[in-house]
Amino acid sequence: MALFNFRKKKDEEKKTSACSCSCGCSANEEKNSATDCCPDLKEGEICCIKVLSAGCKSCHEQFEYAKQAVRDMELSVEVEYITDMQKVMEYGVMSMPALVVNEKVVTMGKVLKAADVVSLLHKLGF
């Protein structure tokens, strides 16, 4: 793969890319790491929940269901709705909607109802 400079390009992107969670992490820190993004995060806590979207109706439904799940679980976390395709592509998501918890993609390509989101969060240990 060195023939096409794939690895070299990826290394350069790591050096120059900004943090995808916009929390102030330096560009050299590893992406998709909740402990780097939220340094005071304890085991079993949720730092951030994001819905990655193309702006369609089903993506908006996923956002509403995620907000409902957060209310049902009585969490003090704000659910972000991200439609900027550059940020979406930083997560490596190719089908939307996608749900991101603590900077880790947990589901993509399907709409989860609020009860399903709650169940998924419990399954992940939150």
Query: Residue 113 belongs to a domain with what CATH number?
Result: 3.40.30.10
Alpha helices, H only, 17-126: 34-37, 57-72, 85-90, 114-123
**Domain span at residue 106?**
2-123
Total of domains in the chain: 1
pLDDT at position 52 is 97
Judged against a pLDDT cut of 60, whether residue 4 lies above it is answered with yes
pLDDT in the model for residue 126 = 81
CA distances from 47 to 60, 66, 79, 105, 123 (A): 21, 14, 10, 13, 16
Contact 27, 16 (CB under 8 A): yes
Amino acid at 44: G
Predicted local confidence at residue 43, as pLDDT: 74
Q: At residue 27, does pLDDT exceed 50?
A: no
Strands (E), 4-82: 49-52, 79-82
Give me the pLDDT at residue 44, please. Answer: 75
Cis peptide before 39 (omega within 30 of 0): no
User: CB atoms < 10 A from the CB of 35, how many?
Assistant: 12
Say which residue, 44 or 2, is predicted with more confidence. Answer: 44
pLDDT tens digits, one per residue of 75-120: 989 999 999 999 999 999 989 999 999 999 999 999 999 999 999 9
What is the percent of the chain with per-residue pLDDT over 70, rounded to a whole number?
67
In the predicted structure, residue 47 carries a pLDDT above the cut 80: yes
- Give the pLDDT score at 10: 52
